[in-house]
Amino acid sequence: MILALNTAEERLQILLVDGGGLRGLFEEDCPGRMNEIMAPEAARMLAAAPAPLEGVACVRGPGSFTGVRLGLAYAHGLCLARSLPLAGLDYLPLLAACGREEAPGCEMHVLTHSRTARVYHQGFDPCGAPLAPAQDLPAQAAAQLVRQRAATGPVAVLGSGLRRNPAHFEDLGPALRLGLIDPTPPALAQAALTQAARGAAFTGPPVDALYLRGSDAEENLAAIAAGRGLTPEEAQARLERALSG
């Protein structure tokens, strides 16, 4: 029995899955409330599980900094307590796999929200192989890239970046827009089982989060420091002490 967690965006997804399929499912849009909902719902699901838990798979990003940290911290603690294997799931390939079910034969471009007027982007060929590493891009640059690819062959696009930046993605040429925002439960379940089959080993350190840019707090450190009566140098020193401790 594998527990799968997705906390990368606004929708919390918790699944229990084994070789026979889904054994438990919880989904809810809860931006800002995942911390209070995730652990109780996962505990409830585990208490009703028909078999012992054998491992945990957690989406590791890219996505919301807070959401990704919450999911990985919970997964890490659960695996430490129960001596379980832990695997990380990359979010953009997971969404691309969902898109291929709706638009087979298309090159798939996943665009998820990064920050205002920016998106996380990754393209995949029709078989699912990445065309390039995932990037944090200005929305305008991502739209231009999609238009260029769509001019040479069938392209489909999906993800929260389209909804959060509508003005930048009004013109995508002939690219097919898919309505998918979150991974489907079957795709998330399959990704978790695939990682389990590969023998993901928990060796002590947590799964590394996949961050493609600095956090808003780091990038705005000087302004945050000024609001607390600190110089940028004092704030940086405190940050370095906290990270090294």
Q: Is the pLDDT of residue 206 over 80?
A: no
Common-topology check for domains 2-91+183-197 and 92-177: yes
Residues 6 or more apart whose Cβ sits within 8 Å of residue 194: none
DSSP 178: P
Q: Which fold has domain 2-91+183-197?
A: Nucleotidyltransferase; domain 5 (3.30.420)
Range with lowest mean pLDDT among 4-13, 46-55, 234-243 = 234-243
Query: What would the two tokens of residue 140 be?
Result: 């305008």
* 58 phi/psi in degrees, rounded to 5: -130, 135
Phi and psi for 3 in degrees, rounded to 5? Answer: -95, 125
What residues does each domain of the chain span?
2-91+183-197, 92-177, 214-245
- Beta-strand relationship, 107-115 and 118-124: antiparallel
Q: Please report the DSSP string for 97-139 in residue order.
A: HHHHHHSTTSEEEEEEEEETTEEEEEEE-TTS-BSS--EEEEH
In tens, the pLDDT along 52-111 reads: 999 999 999 999 999 999 999 999 999 999 989 899 999 999 999 999 999 999 999 999
> Which pLDDT score, from 0 to 100, does residue 235 have?
74
Mean pLDDT of the chain: 90
> Which superfamily does CATH assign the domain made up of 92-177 to?
ATPase, nucleotide binding domain (3.30.420.40)
The tokens of 55 are what? 């491992």
pLDDT at residue 198 above 70? Answer: no
Mean pLDDT computed over 20-47: 94
Q: How confident is the model at residue 128 (pLDDT cuts 50, 70, 90)?
A: very high
pTM: 0.87
Confidence check: pLDDT of 228 > 70? yes
Cβ atoms 26, 48 nearer than 8 A:
no
Q: Provide the strand spans (E) within 170-211.
A: 176-177
- Residues 207-227: tens digit of each pLDDT: 889 998 866 656 656 766 677
